[in-house]
Amino acid sequence: MWIAENWKDYEIIDCSGGEKLERWGGYVLVRPDPQVIWNTPKTDRGWKNRNGHYHRSKKGGGEWEFFSLPKQWQIHYRELTFNLKPFSFKHTGLFPEQAANWDWFSEKIRTAGRPVRVLNLFAYTGGATLAAAAAGAQVTHVDASKGMVNWAKENAASSGLSDKPIRWLVDDCVKFVEREIRRGSHYDGIIMDPPSYGRGPKGEIWKIEDSIHPFIRLCTKLLSDQPLFFLVNSYTTGLAPAVLTYMLSVEMGRWDGRVDSQEIGIPVTRSGFILPCGASGRWETR
């Protein structure tokens, strides 16, 4: 398992009964987590003294209950600064477990000894984009949501990265990749964080089990002659790490490299155990 263990501004304090107790900077939140299927005593005082609590509805969705939580605040990871705000369906605008991947590809970019072009697809609020840019890469950031791209730009400004070579695009990721192939564009690293389910601008259905392998195959056409890495993230519990390894091994076979896939997770302070938070598949050059 790859563990995001270098955070100072974030921690999972405890988890029980389908929920996790988290510290985001100076604020404590309680949010649902489907992986937390155990029930242990909720003795930490944070369970009662939380700043925000997302209550999941049995009918689907849910709503926030706030206790002295600002509309927006910041946390830091290494040299990066992220603007957080609670919004629909329990999210805050950041997936802290991804720091394990940020550290991995940042080191590859810094030690490449050459200019590196990175494509970040389904790029959300830009955590991976900022990490790659801070490491010295030229980054193309693509997400279908204008609001998410604007949020990512705010994070870049807060991190002092506004002057870095980042191209911000509001676009359907599949359509963008198809156009880039026709334009003859190439990238040394590709990052994708696809949703489990979604709809394109014209009603196209994205279901990760059906769409992810064809999309990985399509994206390999954008890789340079000497690619550095290819990263695929999945939050769908049905996609085991071995499935990611199989797909990447099939599609990246023409390049000399290695594939590894693992669960990613975050330590739980109270128990000392690791809470799994999805899986990642990594291809890297030898």
Among 258, 263, 261, 257, residue whose Cα is nearest residue 277: 263
Which pLDDT tens digit goes with each residue over 62-84? 999 999 999 999 999 999 999 99
Which backbone phi and psi does 66 adopt, to 5 degrees? -110, 145
The confidence score (pLDDT) of residue 148 equals 96
Among 196, 209, 185, residue whose Cα is nearest residue 119: 185
Does pLDDT of 238 surpass 70? no
Among 76, 95, 117, 134, residue whose Cα is nearest residue 234: 95
Residues of the chain with CATH 3.40.50.150: 96-285
> Rounded mean pLDDT of 24-33?
97
Does pLDDT of 239 surpass 90? no
> Rounded mean pLDDT of 248-276?
97
Residue whose tokens read 């590196």: 116
Which pLDDT tens digit goes with each residue over 189-210? 999 998 877 766 667 777 777 8
Among 148, 28, 16, residue whose Cα is nearest residue 87: 148
The confidence score (pLDDT) of residue 197 equals 73
Look at domain 2-84 and name its CATH class. Answer: mainly beta
The confidence score (pLDDT) of residue 210 equals 81
The confidence score (pLDDT) of residue 120 equals 98
Banded pLDDT at 235 (limits 50, 70, 90): confident
Which pLDDT tens digit goes with each residue over 89-130? 899 999 999 999 999 999 999 999 999 999 999 999 999 999
Residue 82: its H or E element: strand 80-84
Percentage of the chain exceeding pLDDT 70:
97
The confidence score (pLDDT) of residue 237 equals 62
The confidence score (pLDDT) of residue 184 equals 98
The confidence score (pLDDT) of residue 60 equals 78
Could you tell me which residues come within 8 angstroms of residue 142 by beta carbon, excluding any fewer than 6 positions away? 119, 120, 121, 122, 123, 169, 171, 173, 176
The confidence score (pLDDT) of residue 89 equals 81
For residue 54, the SS3 value is strand
Banded pLDDT at 87 (limits 50, 70, 90): confident
> Rounded mean pLDDT of 259-281?
97
CATH number 3.60.20.10 is the correct assignment for the domain at 96-285: no
Residues of the chain with CATH 2.60.40.1180: 2-84
The confidence score (pLDDT) of residue 207 equals 76
Does pLDDT of 282 surpass 90? yes
Average pLDDT along the chain: 94
> Rounded mean pLDDT of 200-228?
87
The confidence score (pLDDT) of residue 111 equals 98
Which pLDDT tens digit goes with each residue over 119-173? 999 999 999 999 999 999 999 999 999 999 999 999 999 999 999 999 999 999 9
The confidence score (pLDDT) of residue 201 equals 61
